[in-house]
Amino acid sequence: MCNSLDLSANGLQVVVDDEMPAGSIFRLCIDLKDADPIFLVAGVKWQRPDPETEGFRIGFSRFESNDTDIERWKALVSDMLDVG
C-alpha cells in the first residue's frame, strides 16, 4: 500500500515504506475512490528518502503493455488535467 503524490500520463510518484531499486518492474494496482482499480506495468526510475515520513519516494515510469488498463490511465490523467 502506498500514497500517490503526483500523477502524469507517463508515470506517478508515490511514498512507500520500503526501498525499491531503480530498474525494478512492477504490476501496479491504482485503487480509485469512485471507479474500478487501474492495473499498469511500471518501472522504478528513481527513489529517495521521503522527508516527511520514514519511507521512500518512488518515481515510476509506466510501460505500454498488453493486458493493462493503460488507455483508462491516459483518459484519467487527461480528465484530471482538463479539470485542473
pLDDT tens by residue, 16-74: 999 999 999 999 998 878 888 999 999 999 999 999 999 999 999 999 888 899 898 88
Domains and CATH numbers, the chain: 3-83 (2.40.10.220)
Q: Distance from first CA to last CA of the chain, Å, rounded?
A: 26
**Sheet arrangement for strand 56-63:** 3-8, 11-16, 56-63, 38-49, 25-30
Do 61 and 43 meet the contact criterion of CB atoms below 8 Å apart? yes
Q: pTM for this one?
A: 0.83
User: For residues 6-33, b (16+ Cβ closer than 10 Å) or e, as one string?
Assistant: ebeeebbbbebeeebeeeeeeebebeee
Q: Looking at the predicted structure, is the pLDDT value of residue 84 above 60?
A: no
Query: Predicted confidence band at 81 (pLDDT cuts at 50, 70, 90)?
Result: confident
